[in-house]
Amino acid sequence: MINKTVLAYSGGLDTSIILKWLQDQYDCEVVTFTADLGQQEEIEPAREKAAGLGVAEIFIEDLREEFARDYIFPMFRANAVYEGEYLLGTSIARPLIAKRLVEIAESTRADAISHGATGKGNDQVRFELNAYALNPNIKIIAPWREWELSSRDSLIAYAHQHGLPVDDRFSHSMDANLLHISYEGGELEDPWVTPGESIWRWTVSVKDAPDKPEIIELNFEHGDPVAINAESFTPGAMMERLNELGARHGIGRTDLVENRYVGMKSRGCYETPGGTILLKAHRAIESITLDREVAHLKDDLMPRYAKLIYNGYWFSPERRLMQEMIDQSQMYVTGLVKLELYKGNVTVLGRRSDNSLYDETIATFEDDGGAYQQRDAEGFIKLNALRMRVAASKGRRQSTD
């Protein structure tokens, strides 16, 4: 028996219909939760819409700082990229939303939580895995897996039938937050179709980007960005400022086909201006502050870490364990990176740190004053070649074809 449920509510088409459907189908009280994650849209209208549908308990929360500090920044310490291209903008927002859904359910004594993720997508998995990790007994209502509304057209028909205040003018499914904005559906479902310039909301076209490059300096402390051009920012404000800089120069557009956790391939377009700058800068400061084997170990583990986030395992014990190791590696990742932003590109111009492991006296092509004995390399090479020399002496020569 469901008497009260907490709905992740945006005020858009899907969740407005879900709100009404929950009231009718379950005859239950609905609590709405709307999160400001930096989507750059007014969220207060969601309060009006929810109240107009009879909702008494309405939660609208500004989670931008928590999102950047506790989710985006830890992920970027790992340099996480899914399938070589996707910077996980939607994926990393879901555990925070799931966390607040569970917490609000507990505080309002609700019996269940509900979300608007479809039965074809990744988000249903992300919301529910993370919710169960925090409350193993939570009940979850996923209307897309229960109702007979199988398309956008049927949703719009339902909305008109029940007099719901929704905007039926849509062409794409969009999701936005401090890290990115994504576009799916419509003509994008054909991976051959080139997205029109009109779909991009944040970034200017490279063709229209300034003809003059912009130089910025990004300060890091223990792996996290803390200042731009010596001006300090909170985590949320840092992401907003990096987004502004990147968007102005046409940085961060991506068009990709990814492998969803549920098994299908999906085409999506993404704008991640600030994240693209941050990833480039973070790897630059790591290049002079991380030990070689630590850096290589991080790179080995990164695809698995990224897959955990993509698939919805943020609160899993394995992700937490990996995070402890990653965070430990960032102890000396402090310093300054100089970057050029120009026509869709982010170029590293320089990096420096008091914790740098780069030793110019050893690396120099000039006279190193005996800091490095070049003759030592002969023994190093012979020892590393020993197993291959033994195999070759036994006739196991490798083909050169």
Which of 53, 54, 46, 59 is closest to 6 using CA atoms?
Answer: 59
Highest-scoring range by mean pLDDT, 36-45, 92-101, 380-389? 92-101
pLDDT of residue 305: 98
- Per-residue pLDDT tens digits for 210-260: 999 999 999 999 999 999 999 999 999 999 999 999 999 999 999 999 999
- Alpha-carbon distance of 89 to 279, in angstroms, equals 13
Residue 266: inside a domain = yes
* Mean pLDDT for the stretch of residues 1-14: 92
Q: Which residues constitute the domain of residue 16?
A: 4-63+92-170
Evaluate whether residue 82 is within a structural domain. no
Same domain, 370 and 228: no
Which residues carry out catalysis? 14, 94, 123, 173
The reply to whether 401 falls in a domain is no
Residues 43 and 121 reside in one and the same domain: yes
Based on the domain organization, do 133 and 258 belong to the same domain? no
Residue at which a domain ends, from 170, 187, 212: 170
Do 133 and 211 lie in one domain? The reply is: no
For helices 317-329 and 292-311, the axis angle rounded to 10 degrees is 150
Q: Decide if pLDDT at 149 tops 90.
A: no
CATH value at residue 164 = 3.40.50.620
Say yes or no: 266 and 373 in one domain.
no
Residues 103 and 242 in one domain: no
Strands ordered across the beta sheet of 335-342: 231-232, 224-228, 214-221, 335-342, 345-352
Do 227 and 292 sit in the same domain of this protein? yes
pLDDT digits (tens, 9 = 90+) for 155-211: 888 888 888 866 655 567 889 999 999 999 989 999 999 999 999 999 999 999 999
Residue 81 binned pLDDT confidence (cut-offs 50, 70, 90): very high
User: What is the average pLDDT score of the chain?
Assistant: 94
239 falls within a domain: yes
125 and 15 in one domain? Answer: yes
215/146 same-domain check: no
Nearest C-alpha neighbor of 269 from the set 319, 320, 337, 202? 202
pLDDT at 322 over 70: yes
Pair 116, 166: CB distance under 8 Å: no
Q: Is the pLDDT assigned to residue 401 strictly greater than 70? A: no
> Which residues are within 8 A (CB) of 228 and not within 5 positions of it... i.e. 6 or more apart?
216, 217, 218, 219, 238, 241, 242, 245
- The answer to whether position 83 is within a domain reads no
Residue 209 sits in a domain of what CATH number?
A: 3.90.1260.10
Q: Is the same domain home to 24 and 145?
A: yes
Q: Per-residue confidence at 47, pLDDT binned at 50, 70, 90?
A: very high
The reply to whether 268 falls in a domain is yes
Q: Which two tokens stand for residue 326?
A: 């990653």
Q: Which of the four pLDDT bands, split at 50, 70 and 90, describes residue 366?
A: confident
Structural domains counted in the chain: 3
Would residue 40 be called left, alpha or beta, if left means φ above 0 and alpha means ψ between -120 and 50 degrees? left
* More confidently predicted of 186 and 80: 80
Q: How far is CA 92 from the centre of its chain?
A: 5
pTM (2 d.p.): 0.94
